[in-house]
Structure formats: C-alpha cells, structure tokens
Structure 1
Amino acid sequence: MNRLFQYLKTRPLAIISVAVLVLLYLFMIFAPFISPYTPTRTFEEDTFHPSNIEITRQGIVAREYRVLNPITWRYAKVKGKEFHHKISFFVKGEPYKLFGLIPSERHLFGTKPDPRTGELYPVFLFGADNLGRDLFSRMVYGSRISLTIGFVASAISLVLAILLGGLAGYYGGKTDWAVMRFSEFFMLIPGLYLILFLRSLLNSKMDSGTSYMIITVILSLVGWPGTARTLRGMVHAIKREEFVLDAGLEGIPSTVIIFAHIIPQITSLLIVSTTLAIPLFIMSETTLSYLGLGIADPAVSWGSLINRDISTLSNLKNFPWLLTPVYLLLAVTLAFNFLGDALRDYFDPYHVVFKTWKKKGALPAFSRSGLSHFRSRSIPAQQAAPERTSCGATAPSASKHKSMRCSTVSAGTPFLSVENLRVSFTVLRGASQTVIKSVRGVSFSMNRGEILGIVGESGSGKSVTTTAIPALHPSNATVEGKIFFDGVELTSLSQKEMRTYRGKKIGLIFQEPGRSFDPLQNIGSVFLETFRNSDPKITKEEAYKKAIELLDEVGLPDPASRLKNFPHQFSGGQLQRIGIALSLAQGCELLIADEPTTALDVTIQAQIVGLLANLRKTRNLSIIFISHNIDLVASLCDKIIVMYGGLIMESGTSEQIMNHARHPYTQALLASSPKFGTHYTSQKLLSIPGRVTDPAHPEPGCPFEPRCSFAKEECRNAGSECHKMRKG
C-alpha cells in the first residue's frame, strides 16, 4: 500500500480518475456552498435558459438573454456592456447550513444585485430546465444522493458479503450450505430485474428519505451474493493456513480470527470489488429514478434529472445542455472503472510488472542476513520443583483450580498418556457421506522432559494423532479415547477450559514456517498478541523485552532490530526459531513439532534439532517430534513410534527401532532411507512398493499387508501374530 500512489503515477487514466472522483465528492460535501442556488429555486422567466457565462476583458460575466419565441424558447444575447453582470466569488446569497450545522450565506460564485433595479440576475453555468431552475445547482445537490447511495449500498453489501461469506468459508458444513443456497436465490434472477421487482412491490409514492433508504436496502440485498461467494472460497482456503491454526491454538475467538487474520488477506479483492460496485449501484439508482421508481421531487438525484429533463428527442435537439447529467454519470462510471482496473493490476503481481519501481543499483527490500547460527545459552540449573497438581499449579494454590479437575499427580504418573485414540472424519464423496478413519486405536505415553518421535509415510495419521492433544480438529471430526496431560483428562474439558492449555501449556509448530505467520503482521505485533493472550495488561515495551529474550534464547541474530520485520524478511530456519520462541512465550511444557525440518536444508535442520535438544535440557521441555526422516528422529528422540494406516506398527527406544526393528514396515522404512557415503552407481535406492492404505477402507488386519513382502494369509486377520506383536 505504501507504493500505491507511486504506481498510480504510471497510470495516467487512474490519476485522472482519482482527480475527477475527489473533485466530485468535494462538490457533494460542500454542495450548498458551491452551488449558487438551492435546487428548488426557480426563475420563471428563464425557462430552458442556455448557459450565460462569458469571459470578457472585464472578467467573467453573466450575459443577459431575451426570449425570442416563448413557444420554442429560443433566446438571443442582448448587446451592450451594461447588460453584463460581473460574476463574483464568495458572494452573499440564499442562507443555508453547511453540514447541517454551520449557518452561512456565502456561496462560491454568483452575481450581485443590480444597483439600479435591485434585481438579481441568475448565473446559469450549464443552463436552466423547464421550470427555470439552475441545472448546475441541481446537479451538485443531486450528487449528494447519487454518489452517497453508491457508497452506502456498497458498504452494506460489503459487510453482508464479509459476514456471510466469511462465516460460510470458515465454518463450512451446514452454515456453508445455508448461506450458499440463500445467495443463489438472489442470483437466480438478473440483478436489474430483481431490483425493479422488489421496488415495484412497495408504495410508489414515498418521501425522498424513505425512497433513499428503500433503494439502498434493495441494492445491498442484490449486490452481496457474488462477492460473498468469492470470499467464501478464499476464506475456505486461508483457514487451512498454519498461522490461522496457530491463532486457534492460542484460544483466539473465531470472530477475531476471521476479521483480524483472514479478512486482511483478501483486502485487495475487497478494494477492487468495492471500487467496481459503486458505479454499478449509482447506475442502478439512476435507472430506478429514470423509471419513476426512485427519487422524486422535491429531492433531486442524477436519475431524477434525466427522468424529468430528457423526456423527448426534441428537447435534446433544442436544449442539448440537458444531457449534462448523462455526461457526468458517464464520467463517474468511467473514473471508478479505470481506478478499479488500476487497483486490480496493482494487487495482482502476475498481471503487471512495475518497471518504474526499481532504480538502478537499488537492492530489493528483503533481509540479506545470512543463515542464523545456533547459539547455546547456559542457564543455571533449576531447583527441584515443588509437588505439582494436575493443572500445573503448585499444591498451595490447587484449591483455586477445582474447575480444572485438578488432582495431585504421583511420581509414577506419565506426563502425557494417550489411550485408545480414534479419530475419524465424515466427508462428502459424491452424493454419500464417507467416514475417513485416520487414527484407529493409538495408545502411547511419555514422561516429562522426554522427546518422543513419530515416523511414518504421509497419511499414516501422525499429525491427526498429535493435533488431537490440543483438540484442534475441525467440526467434522469424531474423537474417541482418552488423553491425559499432567494428570488431567483433556478429552473431558470444555472449549473454554482447553484454552488454558492451548499455547500456554501445549505448543505446536508446523512444517512450513513461512505459512505459520500472518504475512501482514510484523514479528513484534505477533509476540505482543501472544503475550496479551495470557496477560491482557502487559505493555508493548514489556512484551518486546520478553520477546527479545526469547529470540535470543532460540538463537536469532540481533533480535531487537528484527521485531519490526515481516515474515517474508526471514529465512525458513529463522522463522522456525521464531515459531519455537512463540511456543515458549506462554510457558509451554509440551511442544509438538509437526515436521519442523522438512522444508529446511540439511544445515538448518541440524541447527533446529540442536536447538530443540538444548531446550529440553535447559527448560525440561517435553517434545513430540514428527518427521519422515527416521534417522533424524533417532538422533534426537528417546523413544520412537512407527505409524502406518492410523495404527502404531512398532514402538520402542531409538536404539531398539534402529538396530532391532521387528515389524516389516519399520524394516522397510529403514531400508529405504539413504545412507551417508552410498552412491547410486554402486547401490540402488530402495523404495516401498504399492500405495499407502486408504483410510476410508482400512484393512481388517495389518494395514501394511498389501505392500509387505512377508505377508501371509493370516496377516489379513485382526488376530494375526503380527497384529498381536503390534498391539504389544
């Protein structure tokens, strides 16, 4: 947006359009001051009077005319300087109230009363109509309705589109179905026909205020469906981005997520669609007024001017100045369209190349800092912690947390325990509902301070299993089983109670760090939002101080100067460090790292792994590390879980899995992992044949049986030895 005006300078039509629109809206705002007369002021002797403005040596004057034929209303100029009436600026005239509040009698221009007769000769900049009313004054006053009705109708239509389209795209399901069917009802009938139909149902004789309100409501109801359907599709895509999931993890309400994180991503579309919608609404109001269904006397709009003045072709032939409102309406429509085209090109990076932006020798405005180096930080060993309750509070304050189902945790209780977890999704495939069984009875546990690794191919259920811990699954998910965190059964908590765990005790970082951040927020504002989630009274200075300390702890170079930077100004490794720092910002005890190194190169992978290992030591942080790279997992984790088809194929210590793998799937993963020092000319890289199991139609026995080279008939049964081994 900072470069918008710089870009508009390269588009002359856009600059002219902006100037025209600014001028017209200034005329609209200061209409009583700019127009010499009120729109109802009549000069009975000057019916169909032509423009009488002339530039002479004496200055700008209003020339007197005399009627030659009162039937055809032909006029002739009166010769003689004594019939020139000098036009002055800031003259006194009819009293009015500027903005409805400030009384005044001054007008931008006009003539002074004749000193001989005391009469006031009128100024007709564009001529007069059939009642001798100044056409310029009526056009200026008419802009107050025609121009504002476009903005008001567009604003209401845009609010409806954002509200309904955003709700449909974000929540989906029945809400999506209901909103889309409702919008389709308005889109079945062409817009103009629907407008005429709705207006014709109402009383044709209404005062101007009621007509204005009715027309605005009708135009808004007709205009929102198209934009809403477009927004719905974009919101549906954006809500899957990791930075939106992060906001949900922090417990931010859905309404705030929609308006603070999702809607800003589609601002460019809203700007362009609004710019193009305003002239459409202006034209619609003009059409209604022209047909006698809109604004009527004594109120005036451009449509009513056209309706009253351009009644016959002979009028246009004899009094061509009556067509001026049409030219004005055309100018406004073209100005909005040219401006809309420029905005569309500006916000579409694939449509136009802005050659004038780059200067010779200038560098792009991106961060040129190199790869961040991991810096370990020694922290004094923590003293032995007092006895903890199941909600994480010390024993003396446990009574304050009765609503959180607190209970004293014994020394032998696992820090995290997942028992018989089953997660399925109901999706629509064709005309029928299909149940996707992503996780089918997973059980595991881990102690405080441990690192648990989960490996398996894509679609094995790794991410679905771990996102069930902070309850981040969509509404079409069904979760069964029990999850105990520090002695508290998370599956029994309400959404409000779960928010005290998401972000504060359970953190989550994602595979692609660049997609985990709102591109319109700088890093400082992200940290401020995170800190205020747990402490609403924290100041910006305090939040920035804590953020700098955390960023320094995770090894980000020069953290104080980087808080003002945006996500695109960081490398992937730096963003992943920031994501880890954000998880630690609220005292995270369990960090779920969902493939945090997949999108990074080998060097940065090693740095992130080293950082996690160091945080485990310094903070006693428990970590669930998900990855496809079994060698990487083994180098970091204490225990490893091998998943496939929504089931745990094998589990054990890193040494057991790497050196004494029992299940054929684990053996296949190890065999297909490339070893350092091998070359494709001496050893062929192995791969697992076949396709990953379909969770919609899971195998009754071992899910790896169709791809396993050791498969037997009994592997297809749930009671096979392989199945028993996996359960054990």
Structure 2
Amino acid sequence: MMKKLFDYIKVRPLALVSVIFILILYLFMIFAEFIAPYSPSKSFEEGTFHPANVEFSKKGLVAREFRVLNPSSWQYAKVKGINHKIQFFVKGEKYRLLGIFPTERHLFGVQADELTGETYPVFLFGADNLGRDMFSRIVYGSRISLTIGFVASAISLFLAIVFGGFAGFFGGIVDWTVMRFSEFFMLIPSLYLILFLRSLLNGSMDSGQSYMIITLILSLVGWPGSARTLRGMVHSIKREEFVQNAQLEKIPSIIIIFKYIIPQISSLLIVSTTLSIPGFIMSETTLSYLGLGISDPAVSWGSMINREISTLSNLKNFPWLLIPVFLLLGVTLAFNFFGDALRDYFDPYSVVFKRRKIRSEKSKENGQKNEVFKGDEKNLLSVRNLRVEFLIQRGKQKVNVQSVRGVSFDVKKGEILGIVGESGSGKSVSTTAITGLLPLNASVFGHIYFNCRNDEELCRKIFEKTPKKADGASDGFIDLAALKNSQMRFIRGQKIGMIFQESSRAFDPLQNIGSVFFETLKNLDPKITKEESDEKACSLLEETGITDAKKRLKNFPHQFSGGQLQRIGIALALAQNCELLIADEPTTALDVTIQAQIEELLRTLNKNRGLSIIFISHNIELVARLSHRMIVMYGGKIMERGESQTVFNSPRHSYTKALLASTPHFGMHYSEQKLSSIPGRVSDPARPEPGCPFAPRCSFAKEQCKNTESECYVVLSDGEKSE
C-alpha cells in the first residue's frame, strides 16, 4: 500500500514537493544540534541585526566580514577582501546528538582562530536584535512548532475517536450527552476559546509546562468537529451486516468499534489528521505571538515572530526577520497539498482534474468544413459519431478511458428507443452526454442534434437571436454538444428529462416532495404560487399512479417506496413538459411487480403524451418488450440495432446472441437447461481493441473482425441504412 501511495504522490508535483519539503523540515528538527551552527541562545554582541554574510567566492563558500556603520540604526557595510572560509563538519559547541551521543561536530561553520580561539559568526539568514543567529533559532524553533502540531493532532484524534465512536455506536443518552458537550466547545470561536483558556493559567510557567498546556488546550478545542463527523459515519456503518454479525457473536462493543468500524474510516482519519496539523501549528504561533505561548529561553517560530516583528521599521530595515512567517506559510501549504493528495488517493471520486473542453467536432479530418446537417423532421434527436473520453489516474500515469467510440443513432418523435448491454458498455455515458451532465474530466466529441424547428422561443433563449448555423444550429437542429452549460439549462428539464436507477438517491432527504415540485415548477414559471404548484404536482402524481397525492406532498423521500420514488421522478420530468425522457435503468432496483408497473406507466405516457423515451437496461427481454427499436452496445460501440422484436427474435450479431443465451426465461430449470455465460473478460476502455470489441470473446471471430478499417461488426437489422 505504501508503495502504491508513493507512486501516486510521484505523479502529483505539488504533493511530491510538499512531502520533500516536510521531510527536510523534520530532518532539520531531529538533528537540530548538528545542523545549527550555534545554540538558539548564543548571542554575538557586535552582531545585532546583522545581515546574512554567506557568499560564494573564488575560495568557495565564505562568511563575508561586515562592520557597523551606524550603531543606532544598525547599518552594516562589507569589509573589502576580508572573509572566512566556511567548512563542513567543523568543531563547535558541545552537545549530545539525539540526546545520546556526545559530540562537538556541526554541519558547517568557521574554524576558530589559532591565536585568539575566536570564531567569526556565520549568519546564513542574518541575526536578530540580540545578535543571535536566525538560522539556528529557526532550526531549534521547529522542534516546538512542528511537533506541537503532531502531538495535538494525535490527542485530538484520539478524543474524537473515543467520543465520536461511542456516540455513534451506542446512540441514545450517550449520543445526546457527547453531542451537547461538543456543541458547547463549537459554540465559541476556537481562537477566542484558546485565548480564554490560556489566560486562566499561570503566566510564569517554564517552557516545558507551557508546551504541555498549549498542546492540551489545542487538543481540547480541536476534537469536537472531528467527533461529530466520526459519529455520523459510525452511526451509518454500525447498521452494516458484518457489524451485526459481530454483535450476534457477542463480541464486546469496544472491540467492534475499534476493530470493525474505525478501520473502515481510516482513510478519512489520515486525511483529517494531515489537514489539522497546520491548523494546530498556526494556533501555537498565534499564542506565542500574543505572548501567551512559548517564551525565552525556549524558542518557537511564533515566539520569534513575537519578538522580532515588533515595528514596521524593523521589517523595512531587516526583512530577513520575516523568514519564520514564510516558513509557517510554506508548512501550511505543504500539509494542505499533501492532505489533498491523500484524499484523492483514498477517495478517487474526489479527484479534481483540469477542466477539459467539451466540444463538438467542427471539421473533417481533411480540414474541410462539415456540410449543414439536414435532419429528418420525424427525428427528435440525432446523435452522430459520439465519442466520450475520461481522463483518469492509473498508478503513475493519466489515462484516457474511451467509454464511447463513434456511436450514432436517432430517436424519433413518439418513439421508445431501447439501449441494452453489459455494465461498462457505454449506455449511460452516451445518454448523459446528451444532457451535458458528465464530470469535469470528460471530453465529448461528435454531434448531438436536437430538433427545434417548431420552437423559435427556445432558439431565442439559447442564442438570444434567430438561430444561425454558426451558433450551433443546423437546419432547425441544435447541436447540444456545442452549447455552453448556461445554454444547456434551457434544454435540461424543459426539453429533455431524466430519471435514474437509484431513485432513493435522486432526492434531497431534507426536502419534502411538495417543495421539490415547487422548486422545479418555479424554474419554468417564476411567478407560480405554492398553491398552484401543489395543484399541478397533484395532477402529475395522480397521472403517474401516486394515490392521495395532496397528502403525500408533505412527505419526505424516506416515506416512499422505491417504486413510488421512481414514479415521482417521472412526474418531475413531466412537470416541465419535456419531449424526451431518458430512463437510465429505472427498474433495476425494483421487484418484479413494481418493474411491470413502471414499464406500463412509461408505455402509457408514450402513447397518451407522445413522449419520446430512451430506455436503458441490462435486461434485453424487457427492452424488446417495451421499446420500438433497440440498440445493443458493447465496449463503447453499437453491435446491433433494429426493430426490437426483430433483434430479439432473430439476432444477427454474436454478442446479441450471447446476451439472449445468458438471459433466464420463465420455465427454465437448472437440471434441464444450463444458463450459459459469456466467456472471457470485458473490454478495457483504456486499451480498446481495434475492430469489433467483442472479437476476443467471440468464438466465431475472424481476422476481418479485428481489422481496424472494418465496420462489419455494426449489424443493421430490417434493412436500415447506416448513417
């Protein structure tokens, strides 16, 4: 797992640089005595506000000698020709490496003068108001500033797991008590609460006590938010079957929480901890800057900022005093970039890709312009050479997944077109491209023409003038693939509706059905009242088979069955008088009886309203029974198409035959007739096969099927003509 994570980070430049930066800082922190040339409290009396004096010369790396010009303003000038050679692994102040090994070697410095025994100071970043080396103080200060973030995050995470885990798992009075307790801490802004708690304590504590107190305060303030998040996740996971099975086996609740539930959300905990570390570091810095944190002789980045950045004139004359501020900013950004990479690694759905332009192809490969599309008036929708690619991360590389490859089809007015195929064949992607709802990492090529010859108002809204061919309209057809998202808003809902497979996830659980209809109808008519909306909603619900519609408008989604929610989804699609309804596997999650009812409802709407429907399903028998024409897809391509009954009863393509052979029929029995399966593996869209994508799994495949130039795999039934 660690190797895969490292490989993933290597292809994320910001994350890789951030990890390297963080590792370097923590190495400096661990070996602070060795890397820093001086102790943080060592002062050079004649080096007050001394500028950096490390330079490259003919002798190599040297410490240039400076002299004070004005002791009141601490202005320095270089002494010409006098410098001191900087050497590595030189002798200096004695210390114990890692607190164990006594030594006096430092990473770099200047050899002591043989006569006087004095060493000229090396100021890599300059010196502060007491002549102390800024570089050494920053290195030593990292021990407090960087470790306090980890320690506070660890304590806060432990408290969040304990309180959030117990609240989510046990519920009841435990849940109520923990949540009210956490809300008390969240009620007060965290910074004010931190300052208040710190001000109550003794101000004359030594550095060790201050470190412990600050860490505890930060942990106490930081756990409630994470605990509430964990509580919700634990509450959800505890209902899973494997948790209930552990309870049946009488495994103690504490073991179930920490062994069975918490590991399920470990990725969230890792990301949350990574992102919380810079927050705690900044909180410690704020306290130290206000004089309530670490104080001399101990040093942290916050205490350095508090002491050095006291006036604007200091910053103007001695800008190197701002280095701790830039380091804090760098650490914060580094942890955030690293946390983002971890989030994307553990949750691929949250990956953010650069926006890829969704466009329609405007020209042929020879560079000539396409001819004006002259669509058939009977067609409501015409898709031509549609190709959809997704940019995804696979290991170290970004890969183009070709989900749809050159799909063309028509949807006639008042027709039900069925699309059938295995998972991953490109059915849903093809139809989602029609409404322009694909994610940001998708690229769409080709043409999606929608018939708008009889709707000048729609064209006016989209183009804000009479439609022209240059604006994406071609002989009365609008090319949806060429429209912007703002233009597609006039198409979605009003012209093209869509219902989804999992109806329970298609509704906001906090909105009742009446408010959902009101929101939808208000988009169509901004002046509509709530009473008018309810009246129209009741009419639509009754049309789709929902009884007691007026009472049910006050119900929330969880108070409906899956079949009822699917009916409500259809009613919502009809609310804006759509002409084309895309039904993406609307019966998959329903029982057989409800499937039949939804099927009959779609058939009735098609007959009574003249509603055109694209019906997607895995069930080829259902598609054949409901639709007028059928498309069989595999590997992002169309394998066969034609009249539904013809394709179902007399399939010509071997893939269609394989689908029918693997579909169970009423009256079958395993003892008399075995249910066949399709051999081989599903086509990989990232490495699509040339020619027919089903050829590697087909027992009748010939060399011609694997030929890139051949289009013989697209079977047209009933004498249809290829576009």
Q: Which TM-score applies when normalising by structure 2? A: 0.50
Q: Which TM-score applies when normalising by structure 1? A: 0.49
